[in-house]
Copies of this chain bind each other. A is one copy, B any other.
């Protein structure tokens, strides 16, 4: 009757300090407009991945700043990068996004 989720949902149960600390790191990565738009561009990019060279254009920011933001997303576990020659391609990590979705799901969800 009650769905099983991998983590304690945000809205039910008791969140430990460790869980809160880890979660806040992910939210901190999302707490910037540039990083939100970067994540959106990567996730919505044809083929499911985007080259850094595709990501610098839409922003009026320097390349190092974009690189820094990508690093924050990467270290938060939201994206991963792959180097192909001189190019670097980034894609989202679906499990990380699913986990965030589950956090806000009402606790009383019928089991599949």
Interface residue ranges, A against B (CB under 8 Å)? 10-15, 17, 20-21, 23-24, 27-28, 30-37, 39-40, 43-44, 92, 97-98, 100-101, 103-105
Main secondary structure of the interface of A (DSSP, over half): helix
List residues of chain B with CB within 8 A of the CB of A20. Answer: 33-34, 36-37, 40
- By the criterion CB–CB under 8 Å, are A27 and B24 in contact? no
Given contacts A10-B43, A36-B23, contact A98 B104 (CB under 8 A): yes
- By the criterion CB–CB under 8 Å, are A44 and B101 in contact? no
List residues of chain B with CB within 8 A of the CB of A21. Answer: 33
Complex CA distance for A30 and B76, rounded to whole angstroms: 14
- By the criterion CB–CB under 8 Å, are B40 and A14 in contact? yes
Name which residue of chain B comes closest to A22, CB basis: B33
Name which residue of chain B comes closest to A43, CB basis: B11
